[in-house]
Amino acid sequence: MPKLVENGKDIYESLKAMSDDEFEELCALLEDTVILKREHLIPFVSQRRNDENFAKIMDATLEGIAAENADVFFIVNEDNSRVPIIKPISDLISGGASNKNSFCKSLIDDISAFSFENIFDAGYDFFSTIFEYLLKDYNSNGGGTYAEYYTPHSVANIMARLLVDDGKDYRSMKIYDPAAGTGTLLIALAHAIGERKCAVYTQDISEKSSTMMMLNLILNGMAESLTHVIKGNTMTHPFHKDDNGKLKQFDFVVSNPPFKLDFSDYQNTLKTADPFKRFFAGVPNIPNKNKKKMEIYLCFFQHVIASIKDAGRGAIVVPTGFLTAQSGIPLKIRQYLVDNKFLKGVVSMPSNIFANTGTNVSVVFIDKAGIDKPVFIDASKLGEESKDGKNMKTVLKDDDVEQIVSTFHDTKAVDEFSVLPSIDEIKSKNYSFSAGQYFEVKIEHIDITEEEFNQKIKEYTETLDSLFAEGKELEANIKAALGSLKYE
């Protein structure tokens, strides 16, 4: 806890000496601050750390903060019911009162001894790094398969920087993620735009992820967007709508949706009774053998397209196989983007960029303002491989990120890295979004004399004759060996 000294007193003594009116006046000066009573503050809680019922004191403190801020700290369900996000912490600890007291005491000791001054000055750069550290094992420790594709910090920053124009003065932007998870993509995008220049809207099926999303907003000074965090099924009940009940559209939409998920319970409803008419390319069928392999990302992709306003922009993470699928829903989506000139570009990422899955991924960028020549980038050879637990992970270096960002913004064609195909070229290759299919095939020509040419042909012929002779000898030896075998 930072020590704020006044007349030789530490912060505890200074705050304790204040009258109620003085304390309220102090709180009123603090912008974007939650409502806190003095007994909720860290130094006041820490003073009671040796109480035999300290775990109950800690829980009561958290419940008190929740009660004082009930109008802010809650998650809205798709049916408009509310779930508080601040809950007793000792319930998470197994064992008796002694275990719970020890944990809460250790926690308050660490918090009390920590200085937050530099952290809050660093803002996004600090909190985004901490979030990646905290969430790297989220899937294996209770996050569920939905958190399998947690977006690395580097990929989130690339997506944000490719969507946002450098130097542009954005105002009152509305940004959205229909599968927001813990908010990595949205916070990176908000930082690129300017946290004070945008409002964040989210929806996610996981209450745990939505709680982390809200914490992410609070830590990054965006508490005014907390009421836009919705827990619910975006496919069946998209929450964010305009005044006419139509799907709300946004200036920027980003998403890293689950790639495969069993949604057989409502698959037919999406096919036949979607009131928002989102699924122009269709809804994936139910596999005969494994319902968990239903490609739900294709539904999210179409939802993203429908949620981008005219002249708005979006980006979505997809399995790289989407780029070249020869038929079906992926092809129809690609055709729609190209034929309407909505395709801004595609970046194919290195393998193992996500720690919890080996799926190769790419990012598709959409711009409804209209684009004549998209940028296709093959970044698959960038990054450094490292071991992350049992998995291999590829980490993009700062130079790699800058190479991707500058190439994309400058719309440059770079040998074996990026290409700028025309709309007609893309159509001629069955709307392929794979950069490699557009790279020029180069054949090296060497000038040699006729004599040199004849000599090389002679050498090749002699080599082939030798190989054939060896093959015949090997064949004869094998036949002889087989002939000598006897049954015993």
Name the β-bridge partners of 254: 315
Same domain, 212 and 236: yes
67-76 tens-digit pLDDT:
887 777 777 8
Per this entry, what is the length of the chain?
488
* Mean pLDDT of the 39-45 span: 86
Q: 409 in a domain, yes or no?
A: yes
217-238 tens-digit pLDDT:
887 888 889 889 999 999 999 9
Written as one string, the DSSP assignment of 375-401 is EEEE-TT-SEEEEETTEEEEE--HHHH
Q: 293 in a domain, yes or no?
A: yes
348, 362 contact by CB (below 8 A): yes
| pLDDT range class, residue 1, cuts 50, 70, 90 | very low
Q: 273 in a domain, yes or no?
A: yes
HSE-up of residue 279 (Cα within 13 Å, Cβ side): 21
Write out 100-111 in H/E/C secondary structure: HHHHHHHHHHHH
Last residue of a domain, one of 420, 438, 456: 438
Q: 253 in a domain, yes or no?
A: yes
Same domain, 317 and 337: yes
Q: 5 in a domain, yes or no?
A: no
Q: 380 in a domain, yes or no?
A: yes
Same domain, 39 and 178: no
Whether the pLDDT of residue 84 is over 80: the answer is: no
Of 58-67, 133-142, 204-213, 320-329, give the range with the top mean pLDDT. 320-329
Same domain, 178 and 52: no
Same domain, 412 and 271: yes
Same domain, 236 and 102: no
Beta strands 229-231 and 361-367, pairing class: unpaired
Q: How many separate domains does the chain show? A: 3
Other Cβ atoms closer than 10 A to 387: 8
Of 16-20, 28-32, 100-104, 331-335, give the range with the top mean pLDDT. 331-335
Same domain, 366 and 249: yes
Neighbour-count burial of 157, counting CB atoms closer than 10 A to its CB (0-12 exposed, 13-18 middle, 19+ buried): buried
In degrees rounded to 5, what are phi and psi of residue 359? -60, 130
Whether the pLDDT of residue 7 is over 50: the answer is: no
Short-list 68, 63, 62, CA closest to 42: 62
Same domain, 244 and 385: yes
- Range of 477's domain? 448-488
Short-list 32, 230, 218, 198, CA closest to 127: 218
Whether the pLDDT of residue 5 is over 60: the answer is: no
Rounded to 10°, the helix 97-113/54-68 angle is 60
| CATH code, domain with 390 | 3.40.50.150
Q: What is the pTM of this model?
A: 0.77
Beta strands 250-255 and 361-367, pairing class: unpaired
Same domain, 324 and 294: yes
Q: Which residue has the higher pLDDT, 66 or 408?
A: 408
Same domain, 212 and 301: yes
Helix (H) or strand (E) holding 465: helix 450-483
211-220 tens-digit pLDDT:
888 888 887 8
Q: How far apart are CA 333 and CA 337, in angstroms?
A: 6
455-466 tens-digit pLDDT:
878 777 877 777
Same domain, 135 and 247: yes
128, 153 contact by CB (below 8 A): yes
115-173 tens-digit pLDDT:
666 666 556 655 566 655 555 555 444 444 444 446 788 899 999 999 999 889 999 99
Same domain, 480 and 360: no
